[in-house]
Amino acid sequence: MGLREPFDDAGECGLPSALEAIGERWSFLILRGAFNGLHHFEEFQSALGIARNILANRLGRLVEHGILTRTPLADDRRKIEYRLTEKGAELLPVVVGLRQWGERWGSGIPSTPVLVDKRDEQPIRPIRIMAHDKRELALADLCWKQAADIRPLEEPVRAAIAA
């Protein structure tokens, strides 16, 4: 499909490869649909209003990247079921984070439905940067460090965290 230069040389980090997989128009919304329980071509098509050729292309790409599986159903082989893989499911924090940001800063419409903890039916906590010990960190608490220069935690500390 694309002959344009892939992002992959754009720096020493995982972002380019992530964008290669889900950085195109509609991919995020297709993922949101998948998380919301859509599984079939026509469901995505009518829920999102996306053009059929683009939808076919994006689903195919997500499958290629191992984010969705594509399975013809046994009892009606016209129907194809798209499902999130584990790899795909791990995009949930990103999708939710972006959604929360859009809700807070964009058109402030409260989203519905809302993602809740099954156990107590309370909404999840906003997606945030946290320290290893779960303190929330603001921009001012952060800095960048070369991976090679990071010292592992000493054992007592590790044990205390694991407990």
Residues 132-151 that bind DNA (CB under 7 A): none
- The one segment of 2-10, 29-37, 87-95, 100-108 that binds DNA by CB under 7 A: 2-10
Provide, rounded to whole angstroms, the least separation between the CB of residue 84 and DNA: 15
User: In which residue are the tokens 């128009």 written?
Assistant: 25
Options 56, 124, 129, 137; binder of DNA; rule CB under 7 A: 56
**Interacting partner of 59 out of DNA, a second copy, none (Cβ under 5 to 8 A depending on kind):** DNA
Binding partner of 153, given a second copy, DNA, none, CB within 5-8 angstroms per partner class: a second copy
Is the backbone peptide bond immediately before 93 cis, with ω within 30 degrees of 0?
no
Residue 31 Cβ vs a second copy, minimum distance, rounded to whole Å: 9
Amino acid at 43: E
Contacts of residue 9, defined as CB under 8 A and 6 or more positions apart, other chains included, come to 16
Q: Measured from the CB atom, is 73 or 137 closer to a second copy? A: 137
Please report, as residue ranges, which positions from 70 to 109 form the binding site for a second copy (by CB under 8 A): 87, 89-107, 109
- Residues facing residue 71 across a β-bridge: 81
129 binds, among DNA, a second copy, none (CB under 5 to 8 A by kind): a second copy
80 is a contact residue toward DNA (CB under 7 A): yes
Round to whole Å and give the CA distance between 29 and 35. Answer: 10
3-class DSSP state of 138: coil
For DNA, give the closer residue by CB, 69 or 122: 69
Phi, psi at 91, each rounded to 5°: -85, -5
Tokens of 66: 């191992």
CB 130 within 8 A of CB 93: no
